[in-house]
Amino acid sequence: MKLLNSKKNNFQKEIDKFLLIRKNKIKFNSSIVSKIIKDVKDNGDKSILKYEKKFSKNNIIIPNPKKIKELIALLDPKVKKAIDIAYNRIYKFHSLQKIKDISYTDKLKNKLEYKYIPLESVGIYVPGSTVSYPSSVLMNAIPALVAGVKRIVMINPGKNGKQNPAVLYAAKKCKISEIYSVGGPAAIAGITYGTNKIKKVDKIVGPGNSLVAAAKKEVFGDVGIEAMTAGPSEVTIVCDKFSNPEWIASDLIGQAEHDELAQCILISKDRKMIDKVRISIKNQLKKLPRKVIATKSLFLNGLLVYINSNKGIINLINKIAPEHLELNIKDYKKIVYKVKNAGSICLGKYAVMAMTDYNVGTNHVLPTNSTAKYSSGVSINEFLKRISYVNLSKKGIETLGPSAITLANFEGLEGHAKSVELRLGRKKFWANKKY
């Protein structure tokens, strides 16, 4: 991992360079994605199966319901219990996010309303190429359930074309019965435009690799997508002399093992602690099953930063806008409320990012690649749309109408003005108009 010192004159340039290099890495050849999407639009299931056979050795689009039941029955009871615990906690937290409708009647007896309406259908993308994520099923589906979405569809490529029993059990917990065993850009295209076997949805959410992210951007407009970039994963950790270097090292490794493009950054005012963490990382990597992935991630996208002031730390965090932020420091209260850009913030030595990935209750589908500067993680809001209702009284239009006419005329929209004029019984404005 590269070490940067804030005292160096070129520090800010080095930070900007580091962040830009990583952003460029996760960019992709959009022409490849566009080609796949067009192929699916033109050839439907045939095209999807072509890509599934090529990349996942899979020849099934819709898994057999009987096979799903059999796989769930074989699942370790301990895993089922863990999913049950996570489900209950995530459901509870997201239930507290419910928003009240607004109803307002003014002095002119105009009634204005603002109502939240659940989406009719949502497709959740659950990655399955290298590992399986039952937690991602819960994080995407539960907010949709709480919001009131009636049709929730799961897109899960599985591993080598086979569905994971834990993923299937999580789907069952979330009342998902419509499952498509496909993945990648082809799956995104299929769920967007529909095929003979795949029914299209109104919105797609959920993290995926760079190609999946690209496909979602490509189809946006034809289908809704979440208002952020979700993946590859990121963590920024701030530690001090009171931190446990082994804990910090394991937190960084825990994020690095996700993906070679995962970004892991450590910030500290204590240079000795940085050195201790670096040594611990080397030792812990030796026994890690996903050592190759984690090592590459830390080498290419890992960063150690020495900063001697809280102000400098805050400024750097807000520049990075990390997906996950751990303030593993004794005086985190001095910093936390000055942090404006982060997907999720863990406070204190026990609040480890890995816990938030599973069963604390908060959502782990979070903005990455600095999109935390303008977006948030998945919540029930992702699955609600808002409709305004206006009931205008006679007194209301008589009082407000003249100023509306003035604005319409100023903007050159005479048709707008006329629609109001007619309701006011005014014809003078239009007397000399010829049509």
Residues annotated catalytic, as ranges = 323-324
Dig out the tokens for 17 from the structure: 């360079």
Which residues are 3's β-sheet partners? 304
* Strand arrangement, sheet containing 2-5: 2-5, 302-306, 263-268, 234-239, 324-328, 344-347
Return all residues near 318 (Cβ < 8 A) that are at least 6 apart.
Answer: 339, 340, 341
Do strands 234-239 and 302-306 pair parallel, antiparallel, or not at all (unpaired)? unpaired
| R_g of the chain computed on alpha carbons | 26
CB 232 within 8 A of CB 296: no
State the Cα–Cα distance between residues 389 and 34, nearest whole angstrom: 39
Q: Which of 316, 322, 356 is nearest to 342 (CA)?
A: 322
| Other beta carbons within 10 Å of 57 | 10
Q: Please, which residues bridge with residue 180 across strands?
A: 155
Per residue, the 3-state secondary structure of 274-318, as one string, reads HHHHHHHHHHHHCCCCCHHHHHHHHHHHEEEEECCCHHHHHHHHH
Buried b (16+ CB within 10 A) or exposed e, 248-273: bbbbbbbbbbbbbbbbbbbbbbbeeb
CB-side exposure of 305: number of CA atoms within 13 Å? 27
End-to-end Cα, the chain, rounded Å = 73
The two three-digit tokens of residue 63, written as one number: 């898994």
Which is it for strands 324-328 and 2-5: parallel, antiparallel or unpaired? unpaired
Separation between Cα atoms, residue 295 and residue 300, nearest integer Å: 9
Interhelix angle 210-219/30-43, rounded to 10 degrees, is: 60
- Helix axes 30-43 and 184-193, enclosed angle (nearest 10): 50
